[in-house]
Amino acid sequence: MNITAIGISHHTAAVGVREAFSLPGDLAGRLLRALKNDGVLQEALVLDTCNRTEVYFVCAKCDDPLGYLLGHIARLKGMADISDTSAFYVHRGIAAVTHVFRVAAGLESQIVGEHQILGQLKAAYRLACEVGTTHFFMNKLLHWAFRVGKRAQNETELGRGSASVAQAAVELAQQVFSTLEGKSVMLVGAGETGALAAKALVRCGTGNVIVANRNIDRARTVAEGLRTLNPQEAEALGLEDAVNRCPALRKLMEESPLQQSVSFDSQAITLEQVPDFVGGVDLIICATGAPDMVLTGERITKSLAKSNRSVLIVDIAVPRDADPKLDRLPNVFLYNIDDLDQLVARNIASRQLEVPRVEAIIADELSSFRSWYDSLQVTPTIKLLRKHFSEIQAAEIKQQANRFRQTDQEQLEQFTRSLCNKILHRPIAFLRSLSEETSISDRQAAVDMIRKAFGLDGPEDRQ
């Protein structure tokens, strides 16, 4: 296998070093174009995320691929020659395939099992397709990697459970309510984490949001800000995880993608008005910076007690905003920051337990991939082609045997053999003509086409 993966990631380098080599904006596309123009690499793909910058490429004869790539990156970023390459890793052949499968499955991610990486890998593949640096092998490899990622998501619990406080708030809400669609949310305070949690809930379909703050203008600004979500916030929330697990949410997200502005009813109120509104909401997120409790007192307690609905209060403020006594009300579920941290820690620990299952999936797919790759050699394909026709010939003779006299049997066999040889002549001559000068990708594509055309792969091998 002539595939190589070269990269730098959070495993090998600190953020300061990674930043120097990252390829944000159109730099990844420019690198791919430069590599294409050079003509040294036959196929290439650049994956650039917050935690990794990697280049996957197919090259038959590369003496110093790392030096070659770093030279390009240095020129692109206007850096001096890069002498220290200790932070970079190089995987060749099946090790490179294993690596891309592990990346797609989320095993190499900083938070093991996060699903964002699969989307980023798809985006990287799209870019490479646009530039025209992917051909037969890379196409096959990437689609195989996407399948590994999907299997890891669907067949294991690797990405299950929240890995951030904001996500934990959504997870808790999903334990209480069958759907968040149409539920009312009250955000008390204008803290960043609270707003992020409210954004996550809004994107799960909550219908009405009330923002309470000491300053009513600030409350209005926060309420308006909930409608949009920047890419960093989307990544921090890991909302895809929740969406992937919930078909209803998935449908909702298809109609309203994560980063698209969402519409809902919003209302800005002052903290003094909270007791008047608290009885009509399903979820309350407290995130003020107030030194004293905000959600306390007889009026609040009475309003909540009178409410016939279950109310989830997520208090992520320190010092706490919600009076712990509220938890004594039968319809109130009060969770503070420690509870949420406990939930996050437990989820991250349980993700680690799923790693062996994902590794088994990767081993399984690697075995299939290797079988497929081995099938792309010219000589075994010619042998298989001959065997295939020989079997057809034998089966036909056996089937038609009764229609011919014994004396004609030999002639029948000679005739059919000759016919098969004539049919096979051109395909075999074509396969033999695929010389070493033909690019690997073209040769493999031709072999793959012949195998598919003559049905040489079993149904289970066809991808």
Partner 1 sequence: MDIALTFAEWLLPLMYMALVIDYGVTFFLRVRAHACNRALPLIILFHAAFLALRGVRLGHPPLFNGFDVLSVIALSTTAVYYAVERVGKDRRTGLFVFLIVFLAQYTSSVFLSHAAGEGEVWQVAEEGWRSVHSVVATFAYTSLALAGVYGALHLVGRRNLKRHNIGLLFDRLPPLEVLGRACWYAILAGLVFMTVSVATGVLMAFWTTHTGPMPLKIIAKIVIGSITWVICASAVAGKSLGKWNDSRVAVVAAGGFLMVAILLVASLALS
Residue 362 beta carbon to partner 1: minimum distance, rounded to whole angstroms: 19
Asked whether the beta carbons of 78 and 27 are under 8 A apart, the reply is no
Which two tokens mark 366?
A: 């690697």
The nearest distance, CB 247 to partner 1, in angstroms, is 8
Spatial separation of the C-alpha atoms in residues 290 and 293, rounded to whole Å: 7
Return the number of the residue (43 or 323) whose C-beta is nearest partner 1: 323
* Alpha-helix runs per DSSP H in 2-64: 15-21, 27-38
- Going by their DSSP bridges, the two strands 52-58 and 43-48 should be labelled as antiparallel
- Classify residue 189 as left (phi > 0), alpha (psi -120 to 50) or beta: left
117-135 burial code (b ≥16 CB/10 A, e <16): bbebbeebbebbeebebbb
Residue number with CB closer to partner 1 (174 or 267): 174
CB-based contact 375:457 (threshold 8 Å): yes
Q: Assign 402 to helix, strand or coil.
A: helix
| DSSP one-letter code for 161 | S
Task: Name the amino acid, one letter, at 138.
Answer: M
DSSP summary character for residue 60: S
State the minimum distance, in angstroms, from the CB of residue 341 to partner 1.
Answer: 11
For residues 136 and 442, the answer to whether their CB atoms sit within 8 Å is yes
Q: Which is nearer to partner 1, 13 or 313 (CB)?
A: 313
In the bound state with partner 1, the residue whose beta carbon lies nearer, of 176 and 355, is: 176
Select 31 or 295, whichever has its Cβ closest to partner 1.
Answer: 295
Q: What are phi and psi of 50, to 5 degrees?
A: -60, -30
Catalytic annotation on 420? Answer: no
Catalytic residue among 50, 62, 129, 420: 50
Shortest Å, Cβ 330 to partner 1:
7
**CB 155 → partner 1: shortest distance, Å?**
8
**Residue 174 Cβ, how far from partner 1 at the closest point, in Å?**
6
Q: Which of 349, 343, 365 is nearest to 113 (CA)?
A: 349
d(C-alpha 93, C-alpha 5), whole Å: 9
Residues paired with 53 in a beta bridge: 8, 48
| For partner 1, the closer CB: 11 or 250 | 250
Tokens of 377: 């050699």
**Cβ at position 175, least distance to partner 1 in Å:** 6
Residues at the contact surface with partner 1, assessed by CB under 8 A: 157, 160-161, 174-178, 247, 308-310, 327, 330-331, 333, 335, 339, 342-343, 346
Nearer to partner 1, 48 or 240 (CB): 240
Rounded Cα gap, residues 295 and 283, in angstroms:
13
SS3 of residue 391 by DSSP: helix
C-alpha–C-alpha distance, residues 192 and 202, integer Å? 15
Contact 168, 162 (CB under 8 A): yes
Among residues 270 and 310, whose Cβ is nearest to partner 1? 310
Q: Least separation, in Å, of the C-beta of 410 and partner 1?
A: 54
Q: How far is the CB of 157 from partner 1 (least distance, A)?
A: 6
Q: Are 160 and 350 in contact (CB under 8 A)?
A: yes
Nearest to 312 by CA among 354, 284, 286: 284
- The CA distance from 216 to 219, in Å, is 5
Residue 392 exposure: Cα atoms within 13 Å on the Cβ side? 16
- Cα distance between residue 144 and residue 149, in whole Å: 9
Cβ nearer to partner 1, comparing 42 with 162: 162
Show which residues are catalytic.
Answer: 50
